Chains A and B, each alone.
Chain A
Amino acid sequence: MAAIVRTPHPRERRMVFKNVDREGWTIDIDCYLKDGGYEELKKALKMQPQEIVSEVKASGVRGRGGAGFPTGAKWGFIRPGETKPIYLICNADEAEPGTFKDRYIIHQDPHQLLEGMIISCYAVNARLAYIYIRGEFPVGAKILERAIQEAKEHGFIGKNILGTGFDLEIYVHRGAGAYICGEETGLIESIEGKRPYPRIKPPYFPAALGLYMSPTIVNNVETLCDVKHIVKMGGAEFAKIGRPNNTGTRILCVSGDVQKPGYYELEVGGVTMGELIYDICGGLRPGRKLKAVIPGGSSAKVLRADERYKIKTKQPDGSTTEEEIGIDDIRMDFDSLAAVGSMAGSGGVIVMDDTRDMVWALNNINQFYGHESCGQCTPCREGSLWMQKITTRLLDGGGADGDPDTLKTVADNIAGRTICAFGEACAWPTQSFVAKFRDEFQAYASKNGNATSKPQDKHQG
């Protein structure tokens, strides 16, 4: 695939995205090998698996899929001396609205992902791995299949890899088009050939009772690529990138009302929200004012442009200092975004300027979640569609006075009460939009009349 050549922004630190949009770069293994590809695999195979796990722990790398869970700790859940087969799954079901990073790795640098996966499998002693790729990425699936074939021909995958005695098979498993398959236990069910109903935890933690009830590690595409770089530079060196507890680089996917939307690989916490929007993404369109930002994929709680946040920072001497900041000063890292009540999530930054109707925006998000709820557990199944119906009715002019409160309480009745994190994913937008832009919702609610969807008798339902 001939990639379009784009020069990275000077503030970027291209590591995982080094070869994305790179001049002269192709997805062939020869191109990858010429650039030093699979050298880290050779290095890793000379290490003890436990050493690699230690390096990953030392690197402090946190999962790039959305939850930000420390990867080394996740790997550490595999019991030493495990007798069941261990599986590793690459979660390439990138489906969170506002997120578009994994697809570029797959489309333009598949061997980087494979190298990261092979190293990771060696580290956790997995002999069988899957790449679960979403159904909407048919080209990506073909590219990966071809890359696996090439890697096999070069002895990087298969029996007795590079003469070390380590065996590994990697299979590409295509999803059929459901967001819930990105939830790791739903993904596992899907690979098992079942409906992707997420499993209850406890007891079905993947590291203990995962694929085929065996220990399973599920990592995001970007995370697995990071492993290659951790092996290359060592965990300690990797940990120096970014900020403490927020190490390495992240690919931020900026969309919405900025002049230069796109993907930017930055040191975690290396920039603030303001620098991201105004310096890197070229700012807003002329005459527009920033209204809101969803900082980590559509499920992350929205941040209002004029909010003030109190941030507590731990000092080296153990004391904490508190400072009040605005949205522009929020550091784009896991802990800072959590501290302002949202999350770094999947790295999808959605910027909205003052032309945006927040009820319309929420309805757009609600349509997604109402459509994607798997329907397994009651609150999410019924609540996600209900919230969508309310916001749609508001937009259609059929608002009722209590609607903002109903929206809030419906969302409250979902979050924290479901089998999987989809409950939060669908509730947080409604909770935060209604709380932060209540006036807009109340205005629609007070319009009354001109409803296209006819409200039914209140005694029904």
Chain B
Amino acid sequence: MSDPVPLLNVQIDGVWHQFPKGTRVIEACAQAGKFVPRYCYHPKLSSPGNCRMCLIEMGMPRMGPDRKPELGPDGKPVINWMPRPQISCAQDVAEGMGVRTDSPLVQDCRHGVMEFLLINHPLDCPICDQAGECELQEFSVQYGTGGSRFREEKVKKPKHVHLGPRVTLDDERCILCSRCIRFMKEVAHDDVLGFASRGSHSYLTAHPGRVLDSNYSLNTVDICPVGALTSSDFRFKMRVWFLKETKSICTSCATGCNTLIGSRQNVLYRQTPRENDDVNSAWMCDYGRLNFHFVNSTDRLIEPQIRQLSNPETTSWTAAVSRAAEDLKRFQPTEIAVIASGRMTNEELWFAKKLVDSVKTPNYDIVSRTGPADDLLLNSIRNPNTKGAQLLGLCSDQPGAKLQQIADGVSQGHIKAVVALQEDLTAAGFKAADLERLGALIVMDILPNETTKRATALLPSASFAEKRGSMINVKGRLQRLNRAIQSPGNAREDWEILRDLIQQLTGANGVYLIEDVFKQMAENVPQFQGLSLSKIGDLGVQLEGAVSAAPVTVSA
């Protein structure tokens, strides 16, 4: 272990505090409850000190002839204040440092910077997507002055520029803070953005012949403090103040980036990254971020169905679940297969395993799902909860290893009943014609596909945004999903459907709260011992001894 970081004494607005060595002045002020406004500063990026919004007064202890700090009547060092204001974003605290965050000089500096930032700004807040979460608006209210003295023509700059396939730029709104440039260079390692021209005519642009097409491009929209960079997917769709923000995680790969889901009236509008230094810092990839539109699809499965001969018919949940249970009871254990999914939550997988155990089949696995990885966040394992499936016994260290054998069993007619949970079997090595011949095909899913078409019992379930539950990411971190919206129609949460099916099969009493499902797991799974859904918290919990995974690629 390294030596403990020494604590330094710093006076902020007359009160002495202690901060670990290495703390940025701007962060120290915030920790002391003295927030210093800033535009260019971002804790995850380098500090260019260009916006000048974080100017403060700073001083160091006055040294006596003995080269020791002179002490005042309070026994504390007397501070020699620098005549000029200093930026607080690029310096670390020092022993005996003094800071004034709200002096007349500091207020004057902020008035000045706010005025400068607004003189050439279009002030088109009514049609700007950033309105409501715009730091120009917020700091104007808090630190600016009401009126303007600017009587001149504003500088004209490029508008609705397609910087890349997913990002739209309005250069007139840009305050030239360079956060996006630094993000692309320092985090995304794709140094594609820069400023052109100079002075007040400076504008943001992509390098000639290049476009902002990185898989991380939308993070620039998140960190843009104003409405200059907007998401081409989200812009003009919804005023942000109407959005309900739900803390959740991204389910598009095994990294499990922490997210905020923005929804209104049961419609998903956007996903944005939520800071978690143990998982995704403050970022997420565009692929994961935009992989939610299927939730809003009008094709969603909304009614349980059973199939008589070749005609599917809508029915009640009771009838559908009963039909599924009765179908399963007709077969021997070895004639049944259960295909679960690495997209399922731990709670769902827990019930899926109970289902496997209650029908006593040896034929079960999950579908492996992989893709190219990058060196930032995107993991090659595209299932969000492979670790959970391994831990809860739905698959081996090699997820999907048994799939081909099961598919062959279906082809050869040994396996006569299949339960498909959130997976389209035709994309996992099963032939559609084989599925037609099955005695029972019980399918739980959210959108129609070649498997749902052939289901004898179709059980419409909930998308990631419509349910609570937990998942374990590739590094063994247990994290929570939260419900942002209600499921459409009569679709139900997956764990409830499975519980009812098991009840029908075994007659056992079920549980009725998802908290109790987790409690059951915590009593039975050593890695979950002592945990509860609420104890997972917003940032998740690192599990001890979580299983390691080597994915098996499915040739679909």
Interface residues, chain A, CB within 8 Å of chain B? 178, 180, 195, 197, 200, 202-203, 370-379, 381-386, 389-390, 393, 400, 402, 406, 412-414, 416-419, 453-456, 458-461
- Check: B198 CB closer than 8 A to any chain A CB: yes
CA distance A50 to B399 in the complex (A): 70
Contact A456 B198 (CB under 8 A): no
Q: Which 8 A-B pairs have the closest CB atoms?
A: A461-B150, A413-B112, A375-B202, A382-B116, A389-B152, A373-B199, A385-B200, A200-B49
List 26 A–B pairs whose Cβ atoms lie within 8 Å, in order of A's numbering: A202-B91, A203-B91, A370-B200, A372-B198, A373-B199, A375-B197, A375-B201, A377-B49, A377-B51, A378-B51, A378-B52, A378-B116, A378-B175, A379-B112, A382-B119, A385-B155, A386-B116, A393-B152, A419-B49, A419-B50, A453-B152, A453-B153, A458-B147, A459-B148, A461-B150, A461-B151
- Check: B118 CB closer than 8 A to any chain A CB: yes
Contact A402 B149 (CB under 8 A): yes
- Check: B113 CB closer than 8 A to any chain A CB: yes
Interface majority SS (helix, strand, loop, mixed), chain A: loop
Asked, given contacts A375-B201, A460-B123, whether A381 binds B176 with beta carbons under 8 Å apart, the answer is yes
Chain A residues positioned under 8 Å from B200 (CB to CB): 370, 373, 375, 381-382, 384-385
- Check: B84 CB closer than 8 A to any chain A CB: yes
Contact B199 A460 (CB under 8 A): no
Closest to B119 in A: A461
The residue among A406, A419, A461 with the most chain B CB atoms within 10 A of its own CB is A461
CA distance A200 to B90 in the complex (A): 8
CA distance A72 to B388 in the complex (A): 68
Contact B202 A413 (CB under 8 A): no
Contact B175 A458 (CB under 8 A): no
A348–chain B nearest beta-carbon distance, Å: 22
Contact A456 B115 (CB under 8 A): no
Contact B116 A383 (CB under 8 A): yes
CA distance A248 to B55 in the complex (A): 39
Asked, given contacts A382-B119, A461-B118, whether A376 binds B91 with beta carbons under 8 Å apart, the answer is no
The residue among B87, B112, B176 with the most chain A CB atoms within 10 A of its own CB is B112
Contact A460 B50 (CB under 8 A): no
B271–chain A nearest beta-carbon distance, Å: 32
The residue among B52, B84, B109 with the most chain A CB atoms within 10 A of its own CB is B52
Chain A residues positioned under 8 Å from B153 (CB to CB): 389, 453-454, 456
Number of A-B contacts (CB under 8 A): 130
Chain A residues positioned under 8 Å from B55 (CB to CB): 417
Contact A456 B151 (CB under 8 A): yes
Chain A residues positioned under 8 Å from B52 (CB to CB): 377-379, 417-418
- Check: B377 CB closer than 8 A to any chain A CB: no
The residue among A195, A382, A393, A416 with the most chain B CB atoms within 10 A of its own CB is A382
Contact A461 B148 (CB under 8 A): yes
Q: Which residues in chain B, 140-195, are within 8 Å of chain A measured between CB atoms?
A: 147-155, 175-176, 194-195
The residue among B120, B150, B154 with the most chain A CB atoms within 10 A of its own CB is B150
CA distance A412 to B197 in the complex (A): 26
Contact A374 B199 (CB under 8 A): yes
Contact A461 B152 (CB under 8 A): yes
Closest to B55 in A: A417
- Check: B117 CB closer than 8 A to any chain A CB: yes
Interface majority SS (helix, strand, loop, mixed), chain B: loop
B492–chain A nearest beta-carbon distance, Å: 54
- Check: B439 CB closer than 8 A to any chain A CB: no
Chain A residues positioned under 8 Å from B90 (CB to CB): 200, 202-203
B154–chain A nearest beta-carbon distance, Å: 7
Closest to A413 in B: B112
Apart from A202-B91, A381-B200, A385-B155, what are 18 other A-B pairs with CB-CB below 8 Å? A371-B199, A375-B176, A375-B200, A375-B201, A376-B48, A377-B49, A378-B52, A378-B176, A379-B112, A379-B116, A390-B152, A402-B149, A412-B112, A413-B112, A416-B84, A416-B85, A456-B152, A461-B120
Write the B73-93 contact mask toward A (1 if CB under 8 angstroms, else 0).
000000000011101001100
Chain B residues positioned under 8 Å from A453 (CB to CB): 152-153
Closest to B39 in A: A378
Closest to B200 in A: A385
A368–chain B nearest beta-carbon distance, Å: 11
Chain A residues positioned under 8 Å from B147 (CB to CB): 458
Contact A413 B201 (CB under 8 A): no
Chain A residues positioned under 8 Å from B151 (CB to CB): 390, 393, 400, 455-456, 458, 461
Q: Which one, A203, A386, A412, contacts B150 given CB within 8 A?
A: A386
B182–chain A nearest beta-carbon distance, Å: 12
CA distance A459 to B83 in the complex (A): 35
CA distance A402 to B112 in the complex (A): 17
Contact A417 B152 (CB under 8 A): no
Chain A residues positioned under 8 Å from B175 (CB to CB): 378
Contact B87 A374 (CB under 8 A): no
Asked, given contacts A200-B48, A375-B176, whether A417 binds B148 with beta carbons under 8 Å apart, the answer is no
Chain B residues positioned under 8 Å from A389 (CB to CB): 152-153
A460–chain B nearest beta-carbon distance, Å: 7
CA distance A200 to B283 in the complex (A): 27
CA distance A400 to B51 in the complex (A): 29
CA distance A460 to B84 in the complex (A): 31
Contact A378 B113 (CB under 8 A): yes
Contact B150 A417 (CB under 8 A): no
CA distance A370 to B155 in the complex (A): 12
Closest to A412 in B: B112
Contact B117 A200 (CB under 8 A): no
Q: Which residues in chain B, 91-127, are within 8 Å of chain A measured between CB atoms?
A: 91, 108-109, 111-113, 115-120, 123
Contact B113 A379 (CB under 8 A): yes
Closest to A454 in B: B153
Contact B112 A417 (CB under 8 A): yes
Q: Which residues in chain B, 286-319, are within 8 Å of chain A measured between CB atoms?
A: none
Closest to A406 in B: B149
Contact B199 A200 (CB under 8 A): no
CA distance A195 to B194 in the complex (A): 9
CA distance A414 to B116 in the complex (A): 10
Closest to A392 in B: B152
Chain B residues positioned under 8 Å from A414 (CB to CB): 112
Chain A residues positioned under 8 Å from B84 (CB to CB): 416-417
A448–chain B nearest beta-carbon distance, Å: 12
CA distance A385 to B157 in the complex (A): 15
Q: Which residues in chain B, 198-245, are within 8 Å of chain A measured between CB atoms?
A: 198-202
Closest to B120 in A: A382
The residue among A378, A386, A418 with the most chain B CB atoms within 10 A of its own CB is A378
CA distance A417 to B175 in the complex (A): 17
CA distance A32 to B207 in the complex (A): 47
Closest to A200 in B: B49
Contact A370 B199 (CB under 8 A): yes
B56–chain A nearest beta-carbon distance, Å: 12
A165–chain B nearest beta-carbon distance, Å: 40
Chain A residues positioned under 8 Å from B197 (CB to CB): 375
Chain A residues positioned under 8 Å from B87 (CB to CB): 200
CA distance A455 to B83 in the complex (A): 37
Chain A residues positioned under 8 Å from B83 (CB to CB): 416
Closest to A386 in B: B119
CA distance A417 to B106 in the complex (A): 11
CA distance A459 to B194 in the complex (A): 32
Chain B residues positioned under 8 Å from A383 (CB to CB): 116
A83–chain B nearest beta-carbon distance, Å: 24
Chain B residues positioned under 8 Å from A406 (CB to CB): 149
CA distance A234 to B11 in the complex (A): 49
Closest to A456 in B: B151
CA distance A330 to B163 in the complex (A): 57
